[in-house]
Structure 1
Amino acid sequence: MSEHEGHLFIVHGRIESVIHDAALVPVDQAYDFNSIWTPLVGGRPPLPLQWKERGYGRIKPAPDRVWAVSIGNGLDRYEDVLDRIIGALQRIELRRDAYPPKRGPGTLPLVAVPVIGIGRGGFGGDRGSVLRMLVEGLTRAARELRLDVVLVSPDPAVFAAAQYARRRLTVKLPPRLETLARELGTAARSGQLAVLMGAGVSAAAGLPSWHGLLEQLERDAGITYPDPTRLPNAIDRAELIERHDKTRFQKRVAETVTGVHHPSLLHALLASLDCHEVVTTNYDTLYEQAVRATDREIKAVMPWNSAHGAARWILKLHGDVEHVRQIVLTRRHMVRYDAANRPSAAVLQSLLLTKRLLAVGVSMTDDNVIRLAHEVQAYRDEHQQGAHGTFGTVLDTDGDDIRASLWAGQLDWVKLEAESGVPGRRAQELFLDRVADHAARDSSWLLDQRFEGLLDRDEDRRLAAEVRDLYQRIPHSPGDKWTPLVQRLEELGASSGDLIRAPRVEGQRDFR
C-alpha cells in the first residue's frame, strides 16, 4: 500500500452513485449520448476542443467535470478505445490542481469510469477481453498518474468478472490486514457479515461529522462560548442548541444532512459487499442510494418497516431525514431512547451475538452503542463466551490507542494508518476494496461465452464449452428431475450464449 500510488477500485453501482472528482462517459460517432448520461452531461453539449484529433475531451459546460470518450470513428480494436481512455486520464492528471479530492485530506483525485465499449461500442461479444484490457490499462494508469480510478458497473456479472480480471494485478495488503480482509470477505460471501456504519462513512461524501454538525448548528443559532478550548461535551452542546429553538431543532438537523446527494466511495464499497443486515447511527439515505445503484433493494428501513421476509434491511438507530421527529442527538433524546426503542437496540445486540460485525466510520463514542455493546459483553462473560473471541471489527482511521485498549478482547480494533503506512481514510478505502474483492459471490460470467477472454488456460475454455454443451443436452422441462442442475448452470451463465451476437438496443443496461 502506498499513499502516493494511485489505485483502481471496482464497485457495483453507477457513476452517479459514488462521489468523484471527474468522470469519463462514452459517446458514439455522431456525438449522441445515451440518455442515461443526461444527469452528467446535461442536454446536448458542444464538442470538446480538439475532439476530432483526440477522440476525447472535457465537456463544457457540464454539471460535473465530465470527459467524453468516443467509441466511434471506425474503431475496430479495443486497444484504440483504451488509448483514448488513457489519454483522457493523462489530461486529467495534467489538470490535477483543478481536481482537489472531494474525499478530503490524504486522498487522491478520483475518476469514475464505466465499462466503456461493451454496449453500443461494438465489443459486447468479447466482454472478457475488454475487461482484461480495461482493468490492466486502468491499473497501470492509476499507478503511473497518481490518480484513483473507480470502475463501476450495475451489472453483477460484469462487476464480478472485473474483480476476477484484477486479481492477478492486485498488490496485497500487509499480512495481518490481508488476512482480515479475506476473513471479512468470506463472512460477507456466506451471509455472516453485518455492518455498523457511523458518521465517518457519510463524512467522506461531504456531510459534517458529529462535531461538525454541532458547530454548524451553533453558528446558525448564534451560540458562542467564552472559551473555545473548554467546550461542553457533545451531548450537552446539542441540548443547548435544542433549547435555543426547540420546535425546529430536529428539522434543522435534517436540512443540514440533506445537502449532499452523492454517496461516498465508502458507501459504494459497502454496498458492493451486499450485506443483508446493516445498522447505522446516520440520518442520511446515502447508503440506500448506493444499494439501489446495484439494482438491488433494501426491503425494510427499520424501525418504521417490518423486516419480516425482507432479504435486506437497514436499522436507523437514531432516526433519519424522512422521520424528522425521531432524530436522536441530545441528552433528552438519549434518556428517552431506551424506553422508546428497546426492540431496535435488541436487534443490534442480536447481530453482535450472531454475526461478524464490521464497524466503519464509527468512533465508539455514542452512548447508546457503548451501552448496548457492554451489555452484550456482560452476557458473554456470564455465559463464558469470551473464549470465542471478539464480536466485531472496528476500522479506526484516527489511531485511537485509548479506545483500542478499552475495547481489547471485545472488538478487534484495527488502527489502519499504523498498520498500513497510509493515511487512515485512504487506508480504509483500500481495505474495504480488498474485502469487496474477497466477498464477490456472483459467478454468472463463468459459462457466458462473452467472457471467455478472461479464461487464460485452454483447459478452462474447453471445460466451459463442455459444460455449455451439457446444458444444451439436459432436459429443460419445468419440474424435471434435472431442473436443479439446469438452474445452477444458468446461474453460472450457461444460458447467455444466445446473446453473443444479439443486436444492441438503445439504452440497454450494459452500455454503462
Structure 2
Amino acid sequence: MLKGHLFLLHADLADVAYDAIVLPTDSTFSVREEWTKLGVDTSKPARFDEQHFGRTGRTWWVDVTDRGRSDADALVAHLAACLDDVAATLNTRLARVAVPVLGVGGGGLDDESGSVQGRLLDVLVKAAEHHVLDILLTTIDERRFQALQDARLGDPTRWFPGFAQSGRPDEPTLSLAQTLGTRARKGELSLFLGAGVSVGAGLPDWRTLVARIVAAAKLPDTITPQSFGELSLLDQAELLQRRDPKFASAVVDQVKTVKRPGLSHLLLAALRVQQSATTNYDDLYERAVSSADHRIRLAVLPYERRTDGRPWLLKMHGDVQHPDDIVLTRSQFAAYDARHRPAGALFQSMLLTSHLLVIGASLTDDNVLRLVHQVRDYLRPTAGTANFGTVLSLHPDPARSALWQDELDWISVDREGDDPGRVLEIFLDAVAMHAWSASTSVLDERFDSQLTIDERDLAQRVREIASEVERQTGHAWQGLKGALRL
C-alpha cells in the first residue's frame, strides 16, 4: 500500500485544490501581499508567538525565521511542528496539504535556495509518509521547479517507494515513467484526455451528468425510469435533446461548476507537450497549462488557428464556450465524420507522428475507435512499426488489452489497497520528473549548493558564456538562446 506522497507542482498556488494550506510569515506575523491574494484568513492565530505556527480556518501560518532573522534550522523545525499539527487537526488519511517553497522569498534565504530546498524536500517527504498526507509543493518559478526535480532525479526510488524500477509490461514502473517522461522532454509525446481526468477534479462522469439532467427533466409518464435506463447513453441524450433544445446548455451548466483544475491536469500540464486532444468539454487542462505561466495560452482547435508555435489542444467533441458545437447525442455521433473530418485527420496525425499517451479514456467512443482503427490498418503493412500509444487505465481490461496488443500498451494502475486514481497521480508525478530532466537550473546560482565544487566552477563559466549569448541579437544565436531558455 502506498504511503503519503510529496508531489511537485509547477503551478500558481491559487489554482491548486487542497484540504489545508501552509503559508509563510515571520515572528511579527507579517503577511506578504502574494498570500493575501489567495483569499485566506490573515488574522493572527492564537498561540502563534509561543508555537511559531498556528491555524486560521484551513490555513496554517508558520514562522520561517528565528526571531525575525533568516535561519534554515528554525524554518525546518517550525515547519515539522506545523505539519504535525496539520495532521492531528485534519485527522484524515491522504488529506491534501498545499505548500509553497518556504523561506526563499521574504524569509531571506533565496541565495541559499539549493540547500534550503533540499532540507524542505526532506522534511516534507518524511511528514507525508509518517502522517499519510499528500503534500503539494508548488512553485511558478521554472528554474526553481527544475532544481527541485533535479534533487529527486538522483534517487527516484526514494521519492516513489511504492513503484518498482521494472516489472510486468502491463504495470506502471519507474522505468516506464522515465520512458514517457523522456518522450515528453524530446517532443515525441502527445496526450489524449478522456472524462476520467476531469472526474478527478470534481466533474461528474457522463452517466452521472445525464442522470442529473434527467432528474430535473420532465419525461412523460409513459417513459419509466427503467425503460429510459435501458437506452444507451447516446440514445438517452438523443431523447433529452429532442424534448428540450436547451439540453446542451444544461450540460454546459454542469461542466462549468468546476473552475479549478485537478491534480492530474496540473501534472499533465507539466509534461509541456506541444499537441493534445480531448473529448472533454471543460477547460480545466487549458487552465492548468497557463497556471505556471499566464503568458502561455493553448491554441484551442478548431476555434482558433495555431500559427504562432503555441502548444495546441484539439477539442474533438466541442467546448463549454461553444455549446452549439458539443457532440452529445446519437445523431451527432453519426454525423461526426461529415462535420468534423479535419479534426479526425488531425487526431490521426498525432497517432502517426508521436507516441500517444491516453489518460482517463477507455477507448469505447465509436468515433475515436474508428480513427484509431484506420491508423492501425494503415500502419499494418509496415514491418517493425512500434506501438503508437500507451493507455493508462484505472482498472485491468484483459480483453481490450488483447484487442490492441502490439499497437497500444495497456497499463493498469489498479493495485490492491490503493485508490487507482491516486496511483495514477503519483505515477504522473514520476513522469513529470523525467520530463524536466534536461534542466537549465545550473544557470541559476541560487542552486549552487546542489552541485559539487567542480560542478560549481563549471556552472559559473557556463553562466558567463550564457550571459554573452543572451546579449547577442543575431539570428544565428536564437536557437542557442532557446535551448538555454534565455
Q: Give the match for residue 89 of structure 2.
A: 95
Say if 2:203 is the partner of 1:187. Answer: no
8 Å Cα contact 1:300/1:310 also seen in 2: no
The Cα shift of 1:228 comes to 8.1
Q: Give the match for residue 359 of structure 1.
A: 358
Listed as ranges, the matches of 1:327-346 within 5 Å are: 327-346=326-345
User: How many residues get paired?
Assistant: 471
Which residue, out of 386, 389, 392, partners 2:389? 392
* In 2, Cα distance between equivalents of 1:475 and 1:413: 45
Listed as ranges, the matches of 1:345-384 within 5 Å are: 345-381=344-380, 384=381
8 Å Cα contact 2:64/2:70 also seen in 1: no
**Aligned residue identity for 1:328:** V
Among all aligned residue pairs of Structure 1 and Structure 2, give the percentage whose two residues are the same amino acid: 37
* In 2, Cα distance between equivalents of 1:349 and 1:27: 51
Query: In 2 relative to 1, CA 479–291 (structure 1 residues): closer, same or farther, beyond 3 Å?
Result: closer
CA displacement, residues 9-62 of structure 1 (integer Å, 9 cap, x when unaligned): 1111122223222111223444343333235344x63211211112222223xx
* In 2, Cα distance between equivalents of 1:413 and 1:421: 21
* In 2, Cα distance between equivalents of 1:353 and 1:460: 41
* In 1, Cα distance between equivalents of 2:470 and 2:182: 33
CA displacement, residues 411-470 of structure 1 (integer Å, 9 cap, x when unaligned): 11101125x874311111111111101100563321322111111x33222332344456
Q: Give the match for residue 141 of structure 1.
A: 127
The Cα shift of 1:200 comes to 0.7
Q: Give the match for residue 103 of structure 1.
A: none
Listed as ranges, the matches of 1:111-130 within 5 Å are: 111-130=97-116
Q: Give the match for residue 170 of structure 2.
A: none
Q: Give the match for residue 165 of structure 1.
A: 151
**Aligned residue identity for 2:235:** D
* In 2, Cα distance between equivalents of 1:189 and 1:240: 46
Q: Give the match for residue 449 of structure 1.
A: 445
C-alpha RMSD of matched pairs (Å) = 2.5
Q: Give the match for residue 321 of structure 1.
A: 320
TM-score normalised according to structure 2 size? 0.90
The Cα shift of 1:480 comes to 7.5
Query: In 2 relative to 1, CA 394–146 (structure 1 residues): closer, same or farther, beyond 3 Å?
Result: same
The Cα shift of 1:486 comes to 8.1
Listed as ranges, the matches of 1:202-241 within 5 Å are: 202-223=198-219, 225-227=224-226, 231-241=230-240
Say if 2:68 is the partner of 1:68. Answer: no
* In 1, Cα distance between equivalents of 2:30 and 2:46: 17
Say if 2:427 is the partner of 1:434. Answer: no
* In 2, Cα distance between equivalents of 1:299 and 1:404: 32
| Runs of 4+ residues deviating >6 angstroms | none
**Aligned residue identity for 1:46:** S
* In 2, Cα distance between equivalents of 1:315 and 1:277: 8
Q: Give the match for residue 250 of structure 1.
A: 248
**Aligned residue identity for 2:64:** I
SS in 2 for 1:387: coil
Query: In 2 relative to 1, CA 463–478 (structure 1 residues): closer, same or farther, beyond 3 Å?
Result: closer
8 Å Cα contact 2:26/2:68 also seen in 1: no
The Cα shift of 1:122 comes to 0.4
SS in 2 for 1:179: helix
* In 2, Cα distance between equivalents of 1:486 and 1:375: 40
Say if 2:17 is the partner of 1:22. Answer: no
Which residue, out of 269, 272, 286, partners 1:271? 269
Q: Give the match for residue 456 of structure 2.
A: 461
* In 2, Cα distance between equivalents of 1:189 and 1:7: 24
* In 1, Cα distance between equivalents of 2:424 and 2:211: 26
CA displacement, residues 146-173 of structure 1 (integer Å, 9 cap, x when unaligned): 1011111111101110111123332362
The Cα shift of 1:226 comes to 4.4
Which residue, out of 138, 143, 156, partners 2:142? 156
* In 1, Cα distance between equivalents of 2:69 and 2:227: 63
Query: In 2 relative to 1, CA 127–477 (structure 1 residues): closer, same or farther, beyond 3 Å?
Result: closer
Query: In 2 relative to 1, CA 445–222 (structure 1 residues): closer, same or farther, beyond 3 Å?
Result: same
8 Å Cα contact 1:302/1:315 also seen in 2: yes
Which residue, out of 34, 54, 72, partners 1:78? 72
SS in 1 for 2:411: strand
- Higher mean C-alpha displacement, 480-489 vs 140-149: 480-489
**Aligned residue identity for 1:273:** L
**Aligned residue identity for 2:55:** R
* In 1, Cα distance between equivalents of 2:39 and 2:52: 17
CA displacement, residues 368-414 of structure 1 (integer Å, 9 cap, x when unaligned): 11111111111112xx1363122111100022223222222221110
8 Å Cα contact 1:471/1:486 also seen in 2: no
The Cα shift of 1:325 comes to 0.7
Query: In 2 relative to 1, CA 46–461 (structure 1 residues): closer, same or farther, beyond 3 Å?
Result: same
**Aligned residue identity for 2:114:** G
CA displacement, residues 104-125 of structure 1 (integer Å, 9 cap, x when unaligned): xxxx211111111111110111
TM-score normalised according to structure 1 size? 0.86
Query: In 2 relative to 1, CA 206–480 (structure 1 residues): closer, same or farther, beyond 3 Å?
Result: closer
Query: In 2 relative to 1, CA 413–303 (structure 1 residues): closer, same or farther, beyond 3 Å?
Result: same
SS in 2 for 1:314: strand
Say if 2:96 is the partner of 1:110. Answer: yes
Query: In 2 relative to 1, CA 311–54 (structure 1 residues): closer, same or farther, beyond 3 Å?
Result: same
Query: In 2 relative to 1, CA 471–254 (structure 1 residues): closer, same or farther, beyond 3 Å?
Result: closer
8 Å Cα contact 1:59/1:67 also seen in 2: yes
Which residue, out of 282, 285, 296, partners 1:284? 282
8 Å Cα contact 1:299/1:310 also seen in 2: no
Structure 1: stretches of 5+ with no match in the other structure = 101-107, 493-512
8 Å Cα contact 2:31/2:42 also seen in 1: no
The Cα shift of 1:491 comes to 4.2
Say if 2:197 is the partner of 1:197. Answer: no
Query: In 2 relative to 1, CA 225–83 (structure 1 residues): closer, same or farther, beyond 3 Å?
Result: farther
* In 2, Cα distance between equivalents of 1:481 and 1:217: 57
* In 1, Cα distance between equivalents of 2:30 and 2:417: 45
SS in 2 for 1:359: strand
